[in-house]
Amino acid sequence: MSAIQDVIVNPDPAEWWSAHRGASPIVGTAIHNGHHLRSDLEDLMVLDGDQRRREEDPFTEFFIRDLPNRIVFHRSRFEIDINRARDGAIYHQPEQAWGLKVWKNRLPEPASSTSLQVHDAYYAMLESYLRGLVLQYGAFVLLDIHSYNHRRDGAEAPEMAFDKAPQINIGTSSMDRQRWAPVLDPFMDQLRNFEFRGAHMDVRENIAFQGKGEQTRFVRERFPETGCAIAIEFKKFFMDEWTGEPDIEALTAMREMIRLSLPVLEQSMRGRS
């Protein structure tokens, strides 16, 4: 198997998500990793696969492969965006989708309803999954892994300014920052201490994003005292956001960085039940 094949996940098109459960209070999610599109939507959509992939989060699933607990969503965010509230989870208007016109015409109600059923099913599954972690460990940490574009003006255009685009953005606006500081601060220190290509990782809080996604909001609402959901946005330095070509060395390093953070998180969670 080639290195590129190893970092690509190819789920069955009928699968909505994959969920793995193991012996740890830490769970990683990659809910924008998916690219599959329901067959009845293909002729209704304006965007082609490359246009969709540019705004998806390819390879984020690879970062969490070493976590015993992990959830990967396989549908494209352009079919249903799990990280948005139910009433905004389908991109009906360009302003919901970075100015992109997604649908040729207004999406028929039956098609919308089918997509929203997936949204409902995902959060029902997630609540059950997380309650299992609470039952076993008393509390949990959810690493909500995403990525973001930093060359929006074109493949040859300059990347976003340094002050606005950390390599890793930690979003904390949806968490009780004070309550979870003993967990979050050691985790961020661990990431910052990781060396990649001769430099420590640039990890900053609430710069490019503030962590206002639906999944972190859901965790705080349903598990206010037992769930620490950390929104993590990787700048797409690990790939070419215009061609989709992965940087295997960078991907492998980021996977190792997340793996090394696991014992730090587990140690910080001891005694929080």
Residues above pLDDT 90, as percent of the chain: 89
pLDDT band for position 144 (50/70/90)?
A: very high
pLDDT band for position 2 (50/70/90)?
A: low
Distances (CA, A) of 239 to 44, 57, 59, 62, 252: 29, 10, 9, 13, 12
Nearest to 219 by CA among 130, 135, 89, 119: 130
In which element (H, E) is residue 30 found? Answer: strand 26-30
Evaluated on CA atoms 191, 194, 195, 197, the torsion sign reads: negative
pLDDT band for position 1 (50/70/90)?
A: low
Beta bridge partners of 199: 196
Supply the pLDDT for residue 6. 83
Instruction: Give the strand pairing for 227-235 and 140-148.
Output: parallel
Average pLDDT over every residue of 165-172 = 97
In which element (H, E) is residue 203 found? Answer: strand 203-205
Give the C-alpha separation, 255 to 75, whole Å.
22
Supply the pLDDT for residue 122. 98
User: Looking at the predicted structure, is the pLDDT value of residue 272 above 80?
Assistant: no
Structure tokens at 246: 């992965």
246, HSE (Cβ side, Cα atoms, 13 Å) = 21
Nearest to 84 by CA among 214, 171, 172, 174: 214
pLDDT band for position 34 (50/70/90)?
A: very high
pLDDT of 250-266, one tens digit each?
999 999 999 999 999 99
User: Looking at the predicted structure, is the pLDDT value of residue 27 above 90?
Assistant: yes
In which element (H, E) is residue 204 found? Answer: strand 203-205
pLDDT of 84-136, one tens digit each?
999 999 999 999 999 999 999 999 999 999 999 999 999 999 999 999 999 99
Q: Which domains does the chain have, with CATH numbers?
A: 3-269 (3.40.630.40)
